[in-house]
Amino acid sequence: MKQNLLGNSNLKVSELALGCMSLGTDKNHAKKVIEAALEEGVTYFDTADLYEFGLNEEIVGEALQGVRDQVVIATKAGNRWSSSKDGWSWDPSKAHIKEAVKSSLKRLNTEYIDLYQLHGGTIEDPIDETIEAFEELKQEGFIRHYGLSSIRPNVIREYVNKSNIISVMVQYSILDRRAEEEVLPLLAKKGKSAVTRGTVAKGLLTDKPLKSSPSIIEKGYLDYTFEELEQLLTRLKRDLSPQDLLNAAVQYNLANPAVASIVAGASSISQVKENARAVNSKPLSAREIELIQSLSKANRYNQHR
């Protein structure tokens, strides 16, 4: 599997990352899914302290112990569980981040985190203080690099211009092209990488029947109504044939020069193999990209300007 550098760092990641949030709490099953990802050439594993109250980090750390020096472990911080664990609050303070990293290191059973990401963010945050925390963690050797996970253009701009982040995890797909106009070009210009999630748009960009989701029938998806989705997906399947929809969705992301890797969740070995097949499939032609863009909406960010 192809490996790409993240931003202007020396950190190489596989084009497919395993989004570990979907692994569940059965350690034996999760380990098998992670092992399947390793067999497919995945070297990039993404988790967060928020997932399963930290248990996800424990599972990932344990499964990767034997190959620690061959993989990139990414985790996130900024959310604080309540004492009753029935909700969480946002805390991007320096004190919290520097404390949270210690807990993540312990759960992951590692001496360092390759990519430590801020798990959200608002423009009202003490951004300079947050950046200071990440910079100190780098100097202290607890993390190798840091990044941001956000879909807020105003927050992304602040971190791109003020900090040494190497990547931004952003939602991006054929059905959600909001990042295309301002976020992805900015990252490419500034030497940062995009790590994309939501590539298959909640399964809409797969062979899964559209009518299997009651919420999609009722509410649609982003600025698409159900009827618009039906028409678009029918056209895409027909006009992109023999390229299947999953391949096209993944390759559409990878065609953007700012995108270094796709984070795809998987709860089964078969899903890992399907995702790897799509990443390793034939890239889209210029004609196919033009077709996708002519049929789909060039969505825009309306909030967090």
pLDDT tens digits for range 38-48: 999 999 999 99
Query: What was the pLDDT predicted at 260?
Result: 98
- What's the pLDDT tens digit per position in 90-130? 999 999 999 999 999 999 999 999 999 999 999 999 999 99
Over 90: is that where the pLDDT of 11 sits?
yes
Average of per-residue pLDDT across 176-197: 97
DSSP per-residue codes, 253-278: HHTSTTEEEEEEE-SSHHHHHHHHHH
Residue type, 59: I
Query: What was the pLDDT predicted at 79?
Result: 86
Over 80: is that where the pLDDT of 279 sits?
yes
Specify whether 51 is catalytic.
Answer: yes
- Specify the CATH number of the domain 3-201+246-283: 3.20.20.100
pLDDT-based confidence at residue 181 (cuts at 50, 70, 90)? very high
Query: What was the pLDDT predicted at 160?
Result: 98
Residues in the chain: 305
Alpha carbon distance 279, 275 (integer Å): 6
Say which of 44, 51, 172, 224 is annotated catalytic: 51
* Strand pairing class (44-46; 72-77): parallel
Average of per-residue pLDDT across 194-219: 89
Residue spans per domain, the chain: 3-201+246-283
Average of per-residue pLDDT across 57-72: 97
Over 90: is that where the pLDDT of 298 sits?
yes
Query: What was the pLDDT predicted at 87?
Result: 82
Residues 253, 54, 132, 88: is their CA dihedral positive or negative? positive
**8 Å CB contact between 57 and 47:** yes
Q: Note the helical H segments in the chain.
A: 27-39, 55-63, 94-108, 127-139, 153-162, 179-190, 214-219, 226-240, 245-254, 269-279, 286-295
Average of per-residue pLDDT across 73-88: 85
Over 90: is that where the pLDDT of 185 sits?
yes
Average of per-residue pLDDT across 253-270: 97
Percent pLDDT > 70 in the chain is 100
Query: What was the pLDDT predicted at 83?
Result: 75
**8 Å CB contact between 41 and 53:** no
Q: At what angle do helices 286-295 and 226-240 cross, to 10 degrees?
A: 160
Instruction: For 151, list phi and psi in degrees, rounded to 5.
Output: -120, 20
Put simply, whether the predicted model's pTM sits higher than 0.85 gets the answer yes
Average of per-residue pLDDT across 230-238: 95
Average of per-residue pLDDT across 11-30: 96
pLDDT-based confidence at residue 207 (cuts at 50, 70, 90)? confident
